[in-house]
Amino acid sequence: MSDFGLILENHYAGLPDDFYTKMPAEKVGERPRLIHANPKAAALLDLDPAVFGDPRFVDVVSGHAPLENFEALAMVYSGHQFGVWAGQLGDGRALMIGQARNRDGELWDIQLKGAGKTPYSRFGDGRAVMRSTIREYLCSEAMAGLRIPTSRALAIVATGETVMREAPEPGAVLTRLARSHVRFGHFEHFFHRGEKDKVRVLADHVIAEYFPNMIGDHAAWYGEVVRRTAVMVAQWQAVGFAHGVMNTDNMSILGLTLDYGPYGFLDAYDPQFICNHTDTQGRYSFINQPVIAHWNLRALALALSDLIPTETLIEKLATFEGHFGGTYHGLMRAKLGLTREVEGDNKLIGGLLGLMNKTRADYTLSFRNLTGEDAGWLKLFGEANVDAESWLSRYRVRTESEDLSGLDRINPKYVLRNWVAETAIRAVEDHNDIATLDRIFRLMQAPFETHDGDEAFAAPPPPNMCDLEVSCSS
C-alpha cells in the first residue's frame, strides 16, 4: 500500500533496462495549482476523491513529488509517422509515475504528460501547454462517455510557467490513466533494431498481463489486436470522430484511443474532413482512418514476423475488414433504429450519408434529431429540400414497426466539437473560469442526456468559431 491507499506495482520495470529509462519528473514550475480533477477516473484506481484537496496530491500530479515505492520511468518506442519510418521516439514529454492495481484486479498506468524532458524528448522541451492539456482531458472523458475504448484523464495542473509553441502559452501537466500505454511502436522499435528476442519478451509481457487467456499463443493475440483496433475505428467512424495523427506510435496495443492531439468531431458531414492542418496530404482524413488502421496493423505484423508465421499473420490481418465492416454496419443500423434486417436498409443508410454530404448537414444532429419533429430535422438540410423530405418519408415508412424510443441512448446530443473545447480553453486561460470547464466536462461525461440550459453546446460552431485550426502541437 502506498500514497493515498493506492496498491502500486512496478510491473513494466520488470522488463529489461533498455525498455525504459528510470528518472524523476523535472518539477516543472515553482507553484503548481490544481485546475480540475476527475472523480470518475479516480474510481478506476479506487482512489478517494477527497485526496484532491490534499496538497501532496497536487505535488504528485505535477511531478513535484513521487509516489512512494515507485520509480518513475519513460518508455522507449519507435514508429512510422505519416507513413515514414521515424526511428527511435519514446515518451518525450510523458512519464509513468505509477501502476496501480484496483480491487477488480485491473492494472492501470498513471502517467504525467508535460512534466519535463526525458532522454526521448529529442529537440522538445518536455512541456505541455494548457490548451492541449484541456483538449486531451475533455476528449478522453468524452470518448469514455460515448462508450469508446480510451485512455482516461485524472487531473490538470497549471505549472505557472510560460511555454513556447507558435506563441507563448501557459504550461500545464496532465495526469492520464490507461490500462497500458504500450503501442505498436514499442514492438517496431526492437524489431527494426534487430533485437527480435526483445519483441518476444514484450509480447509475452503484454499477453500475460492483458490477454492471460492467450498465453503462449502469439497468433491468437495478434488476431485479437486486429479485432480490437477494427472495432475501435468503426466506433470512431460511427460517432464522427477523427483522430488526426494515426502514427504507429499512437496506436494502442489494447485498442484504446490514445494521444489526443489534433482530433476533431465532424460538424458538417464531410468524409474528406482533415482535422489536422499539419496533414497537408490528407493521410489521416476521416474517410481514410480504416485504411490507415489496417496499414498500421500490417506494420505491427512485420514487427511480429519472427513470432508468428507470415501466412498466419496475413490470415489474421485479413479479418480486419470483417470486424470493421460488421461493427460499423451494426452501429449505423442502430443509429437509425433498424433492428430487423430488411432489403434496402443499406441504401437507406447510404442515402442519408450522401444527403448529409451534399448539403453539409450537421453529422451529430442529423441522427439525434430523428426523434424530434420532422420540421426540425428537415431544417438541417436547408430550406424546402426535396431530397431530404423524400428520404425522411422513406425512413418513417421503414421504421413504422420499429421501436425508436431508445435512439437518444444511441445517438449523442453532445460531442466535443472543436469550438466547445476552445470555449473551455479560453475560459481557463483568459478568465481563470474553471466553472465553464467543469460545465463542459460534465456534458462530455453524459453526452446522451439533455442538460437544461446547455443546449448551445450541442450546436454547430457560431460564426466566430468556424475557422479554428488544430495541428500536431494541439
Domain residue extents for the chain = 3-181, 338-409
153 three-class SS: strand
Q: Do 174 and 112 form a contact (C-beta atoms < 8 A)?
A: yes
Close Cβ partners of 347 (under 8 Å, ≥ 6 residues apart): none
Q: Which amino acid is at 82?
A: F
Q: Do 265 and 364 form a contact (C-beta atoms < 8 A)?
A: yes
Grid coordinates representing 98 are: 505509477
Give CA–CA dist 406/367, Å, rounded.
12
Q: Do 185 and 215 form a contact (C-beta atoms < 8 A)?
A: no
Closest CA to 95 of 57, 62, 122: 62
The set of catalytic residues is: 249
First to last CA, the chain: 37
Tens of each residue's pLDDT in the chain, 474 residues: 468 999 999 999 999 999 999 999 999 999 999 999 999 999 999 999 999 999 999 999 999 999 998 999 999 999 999 999 999 999 999 999 999 999 999 999 999 999 999 999 998 999 999 999 999 999 999 999 999 999 999 999 999 999 999 899 999 999 999 999 999 999 999 999 999 999 999 999 999 999 999 999 999 999 999 999 999 999 999 999 999 999 999 999 999 999 999 999 999 999 999 999 999 999 999 999 999 999 999 999 999 999 999 999 999 999 999 999 999 999 999 999 999 999 999 999 999 999 999 999 999 999 999 999 999 999 999 988 999 999 999 999 999 999 999 999 999 999 999 999 999 999 999 999 999 999 999 999 999 999 999 999 999 999 888 877 776 555
Got the DSSP string for 121-142?
Answer: -TTS-SBEEHHHHHHHHHHHHH
Closest CA to 258 of 96, 143, 422: 143
| Phi and psi at residue 253, to the nearest 5° | -70, -15
Q: How many CB atoms lie within 10 A of CB 91?
A: 23
Q: For residue 225, what is the enclosing H or E element?
A: helix 218-239
Closest CA to 189 of 203, 178, 176: 203
